[in-house]
Amino acid sequence: MDTLTGRTIKALKAHIVEHKLGKGHKLGSLNELSKQFAVSRTVIREAVSALKSDGVIEARHGVGVFVRDMPQAEDSNSYDAELALAPLRRLKTSFMDLLELRMAFEVHAAGLAATRRSWAQESNIWNAIHQFEASLDDEAALDQLDFVFHRSIAEATNNGAFIEFFNLMSLQILPQPAFSKALNPALITPEYIQNTVTEHRAISDAISSGNAEQAREAMRAHLNRSHLRYRGFSDGTTSPLSNLAQ
């Protein structure tokens, strides 16, 4: 269930358990939940539908989404990292702070991937790029494929801690929707998306060549462009996407 919808399902469950929300507690409308968990309405609708099938929540038309029953772990003796680390995953901070955290993490990950990736992992990175380039007119697909690209690099570090951290923090490190022209028409332009393609390829070329320093620099340039572009639309404390980090 390592998809955006799957991670949102886990996040919703963790939210209910962590806050001990009982039967009948209103979680919010689909729009409110979409903003709270920083995903599109399509993703939150799919997550709600899945949890309705599991008997965890119920949706009342025109009213909102409510808790129906507390999620139960499959094995009460097992350690559920998703629930235990839920507070970390939903860290409350500014979008710009998260971009800086992302840079520290992913720049180093790109360097490790350049020296440790397997042939299969390298192929996964390039497959994500090719699918991204084939989906430039599909905003929802771009969000998912951008996630897959960065996750593939984390996996190519062959470092379990890097992979687990990425999986736990991805809802915050990679806010969704990131490529919505409707939400950010001044920011998400054809040029912006094409630059993303170019930068993805530069990162992947460096990883494929085994050049760790070049891979780190390419990733730093990629993330720094986003950092500066978002800050250019802000007053120094918020960004056009700052609401997605709430």
Q: Give me the mean pLDDT over the 156-183 stretch.
A: 74
Q: For the chain, what is the radius of gyration of the CA atoms?
A: 19
Buried b (16+ CB within 10 A) or exposed e, 171-186: bbbbbbbbbbeebbee
Taking the C-alpha atoms of residue 137 and residue 140, their distance in angstroms, rounded to an integer, is 9
- pLDDT digits over 74-112, tens only? 444 444 545 545 555 555 666 677 778 888 899 999 999
Task: Report the pLDDT value the prediction gives residue 232, as an integer from 0 to 100.
Answer: 56
Domains and CATH numbers, the chain: 4-84 (1.10.10.10), 91-245 (1.20.120.530)
Task: Report the pLDDT value the prediction gives residue 178, as an integer from 0 to 100.
Answer: 66
Q: What's the token pair of residue 208? A: 């494929």
Task: Report the pLDDT value the prediction gives residue 185, as an integer from 0 to 100.
Answer: 67
CA distances in angstroms from 215 to 110, 112, 177, 196, 202, listed in the order given: 6, 9, 26, 15, 8
- pLDDT digits over 103-151, tens only? 889 999 999 999 999 999 999 999 999 999 998 888 778 888 888 899 9
- pLDDT digits over 194-234, tens only? 889 999 999 999 999 999 999 999 999 998 877 776 665 54
Task: Report the pLDDT value the prediction gives residue 89, as an integer from 0 to 100.
Answer: 52
- pLDDT digits over 25-40, tens only? 999 998 889 888 878 8
Q: What's the token pair of residue 101? A: 């955290």
Taking the C-alpha atoms of residue 98 and residue 94, their distance in angstroms, rounded to an integer, is 7
**Residue 1 CB-density burial (10 A; 0-12 exposed, 13-18 middle, 19+ buried):** exposed
pTM to 2 decimals? Answer: 0.61
Task: Report the pLDDT value the prediction gives residue 237, as an integer from 0 to 100.
Answer: 41
Q: Is the CB of residue 4 less than 8 Å from the CB of residue 174?
A: no
Q: Hey, which of 14-23, 65-74, 80-89, 193-202 has the most confident mean pLDDT?
A: 193-202
- Residue keyed to tokens 């997550």: 47
